[in-house]
Structure 1
């Protein structure tokens, strides 16, 4: 079972994936963590990705697809994909990779929050974690990129009947209840196919 989480930076995808991974005993694969690990390992893909991340730009589709294919696709029990796909090209590549391995996407969870909430969360995270991709200029650039490049996948997954829009505002436990309800509905529906 593969579950995708989409939403702007700071909406809580990572938090919700961690909670759901514990509940369903699935691997949580955060593309941010995968990228940071590749950069730390100083492998070829990591070095290329670092240049984009430092500028607040999305890592090119071909690099992301290779990293995800290496880490997630082919896992017998699936995983939670946090931050992938971010573009229509990546969404289509994920679909092809899953089909090739006779696996399928169960649900796409879109966490929703207004821009002010997201900016507040990212600013707080930057103070606590000192992440280079959470500087004020980079935050604004990441949100602009999300609006422009990631939004089309929402329509793609809506048209596929996989999209579940969930309010991401509230305490993490409250949001988790909403997420878990929708995921359980998707599991029930998949069992009836």
Structure 2
């Protein structure tokens, strides 16, 4: 059975790290909408030009635009996926629910990564991203200044200054946090304390889906 999972959590909670690990373990596609949008901005695509001023102030793109983008992506990945960064609002969650129903698919689980603000602020000070494969993580996880996945040079994300982060966190609290109740009411939500090491968090998450497997 294809695995379909949504990861929720504030900026710097580890969604990218855990999403990639889970997708790889399950053999399904992984999507970071944040990385997708940042790539569009860098490449000056029509989407990127529309998104840049919104992202620069730490805002969210309009629901209709994001839903259109995700509908096209979902249609290309019928064999399962892990979503990081979508849905980001109740209307987006309702769109995903309708889309899955229309295509005889269902969401397996939603994992909410819980990290306090103090830890999040500490993480963004050392977070880096690869411009080639879009790996994102702590500088200590890179090999010097090299991406551990593809070997390209990593650097800090432009949107990881504290002012922008606080703006993104406020947007998360306003628009995305209500999804905790949305999915809890549907019996799909699992909370995960994400303050431990990435390996420990991954181990707990993987056991939700592969109880007999030992995660590395």
Question: Quick check: TM above 0.5?
Answer: yes
SS in 2 for 1:155: helix
Per the alignment, residue 33 of structure 2 pairs with: 31
The Cα of 1:182 is off from its aligned counterpart by: 2.1
Per the alignment, residue 85 of structure 1 pairs with: 87
The Cα of 1:74 is off from its aligned counterpart by: 4.9
Matched-pair contact (CA < 8 Å) for 2:29–2:77: no
The Cα of 1:178 is off from its aligned counterpart by: 1.0
Structure 2: gaps (5+ residues): 129-137, 140-154, 212-216
Write out per-residue CA displacement over residues 2-60 of structure 1, whole angstroms, 9 at most, x where no aligned residue. Answer: 11000000000000011111111111100011112222343322221112101111111
Matched-pair contact (CA < 8 Å) for 1:73–1:97: no
Matched-pair contact (CA < 8 Å) for 1:29–1:72: no
Per the alignment, residue 44 of structure 1 pairs with: 46
SS in 2 for 1:174: helix
Matched-pair contact (CA < 8 Å) for 1:17–1:82: yes
Q: Distance in 1 between matches of 2:123 and 2:98?
A: 34
Q: Does 1:133 align with 2:135?
A: no
Per the alignment, residue 203 of structure 2 pairs with: 177
Structure 1: gaps (5+ residues): 186-193
SS in 1 for 2:52: helix
Per the alignment, residue 169 of structure 2 pairs with: 143
Per the alignment, residue 142 of structure 2 pairs with: none
Among 60, 68, 71, the alignment partner of 2:70 is 68
Give the superposed CA RMSD.
1.6
Aligned residues: 185
Q: Distance in 2 between matches of 1:66 and 1:46?
A: 15
Question: Bigger CA drift: 149-158 or 119-128?
Answer: 119-128
Q: Does 1:56 align with 2:58?
A: yes
Write out per-residue CA displacement over residues 54-106 of structure 1, whole angstroms, 9 at most, x where no aligned residue. Answer: 11111111111111112224522121000110100100011111111111111
Question: Bigger CA drift: 127-136 or 95-104?
Answer: 127-136
Q: 1:73 to 1:3 in 2, by over 3 A?
A: farther
Q: Distance in 1 between matches of 2:170 and 2:29?
A: 29
Per the alignment, residue 154 of structure 1 pairs with: 180
State the structure with bigger RCO (CA 8 A, min sep 6), 1 or 2: 1
Q: Distance in 1 between matches of 2:122 and 2:74?
A: 31
Superposition TM-score, scaled by structure 1 size: 0.90
Per the alignment, residue 9 of structure 1 pairs with: 11
SS in 1 for 2:61: coil
Superposition TM-score, scaled by structure 2 size: 0.81
